[in-house]
Amino acid sequence: MSNIKVLVLRTAGTNCDQETCHAFQLAGAQAETLHVNRLIEQPGLLDHYQILALPGGFSYGDDIAAGKILANQLIHHLRDDVRRFIDSNKLVLGICNGFQVLVKAGILPNLPGQNGSAQATITYNDSGKYEDRWVHLQPATDKCVFIQPGQRLYLPVAHGEGKVCFAHPEILDRLKAEGHIAFRYVDENGNFGDFPINPNGSTDHIAGLCDPTGRVLGLMPHPERFVHKTQHPRWTRTEIQQPDGLTIFTNAVQYFR
């Protein structure tokens, strides 16, 4: 059996936790869910895991802003514990709502020298509505351990607040220069475009970010929703060797192998 253990953090409103566990299990890891309140009570539980995953869903109903309440719990109760986890050469993955949490908790993009100020946020789609569609993603860095450089992915998005924005243009310049943009939205030929190619109007077509270590990844699309070939919308007409979403989880597990 695998000795690579994954903690999938959940709370009220989380609805992709079991799918995320399943994806990691397909990749060869042991995965289990835990409510954030239990982790706040016993933060030492993190020591038993190599990967922390924040899955998609609508934590606390996104009542204030998407991911904001769970982000505040991480800030006020688990900030030092999560930082020690990352500094111990471990991995963190945030998917959709989990990406929103990581950004609003300051875990992403976490550029040094910003004096703790907010660097980015994720806000309402330019379309003004919930977007549920499949998109193409182009990797934009070779420093993130979750990513196979050059491998374009086809994954579904499902969100109302997916537009990545930055406090200052200089932050975007640094992210591009230092390799922190994980994925960008493109068309099937790798070209940038407006809606629906970029489903939310995200700045610079950004679909995901990684931190300076390359071991923390957040992305808006849902890789856990394409881990079986039958989940592809054209699976009966398309030859599929390995579902694109599974590569994210396989690369994470392979990192420890």
CATH number, domain at 54? Answer: 3.40.50.880
Residue 15 has pLDDT above 90, yes or no: yes
Order of strands across the sheet that contains 216-219: 30-35, 5-10, 51-54, 91-95, 216-219, 206-210, 181-186, 131-139, 153-159
The type of residue at 122 is: I
The dihedral region occupied by 116, where left means phi > 0, alpha psi between -120 and 50, and beta the remainder, is left
Q: What is the mean pLDDT of residues 26-43?
A: 98
Confidence of residue 257 (pLDDT cuts 50, 70, 90): confident
Q: What is the DSSP string of 139-150?
A: E--S--TT--TT
Least reliable range by pLDDT among 110-119, 179-188, 197-206: 110-119
Share of the chain above pLDDT 90, in %: 93
Angle formed at CA 107 by CA 102 and CA 111, multiple of 5 degrees:
130
Residue 34's φ and ψ, nearest 5 degrees, are: -150, 135
Residue 165 has pLDDT above 70, yes or no: yes
Instruction: Give the residue numbers spanning the domain of 227.
Output: 5-256
Q: Write down the pLDDT at residue 44.
A: 97
Q: Write down the pLDDT at residue 133.
A: 97
Residue 2 has pLDDT above 90, yes or no: no
Q: Write down the pLDDT at residue 112.
A: 83
Q: Which two tokens stand for residue 168?
A: 């200052």
Q: Which two tokens stand for residue 164?
A: 């990545």
Q: What is the mean pLDDT of residues 70-74?
A: 97
Question: Bridge partners of 138?
Answer: 184
pLDDT tens digits, 239-252: 998 999 999 999 99
Alpha helices for the chain (secondary structure H): 17-26, 36-41, 68-73, 79-87, 97-104, 169-178, 244-256
pLDDT tens digits, 108-147: 999 986 555 679 999 999 999 999 999 999 999 999 999 9
Q: Write down the pLDDT at residue 65.
A: 93
Distance from the Cα of residue 133 to its chain's centroid: 17
Angle formed at CA 196 by CA 133 and CA 161, multiple of 5 degrees:
70
Contact 223, 158 (CB under 8 A): no
The dihedral region occupied by 187, where left means phi > 0, alpha psi between -120 and 50, and beta the remainder, is beta
* Count of the separate structural domains present in the chain: 1
Q: What is the mean pLDDT of residues 31-38?
A: 98
Q: Write down the pLDDT at residue 179.
A: 96
Residue 1 has pLDDT above 50, yes or no: no
Residues annotated as part of the active site: 96, 222, 224
Q: Provide the residue count of the chain.
A: 257
User: Kind and range of the H or E element at 121?
Assistant: strand 120-123
Q: What is the mean pLDDT of residues 215-224?
A: 98
Q: Which two tokens stand for residue 160?
A: 């109302």
Q: What is the mean pLDDT of residues 157-179?
A: 96
Contact 245, 209 (CB under 8 A): no
pTM assigned to the model:
0.96
- The chain-wide mean pLDDT, for the chain, equals 95
Better-scored residue on pLDDT, 117 or 17: 17
pLDDT tens digits, 80-114: 999 999 999 999 999 999 999 999 999 999 998 65
Per DSSP, the three-state class of 178 is: helix
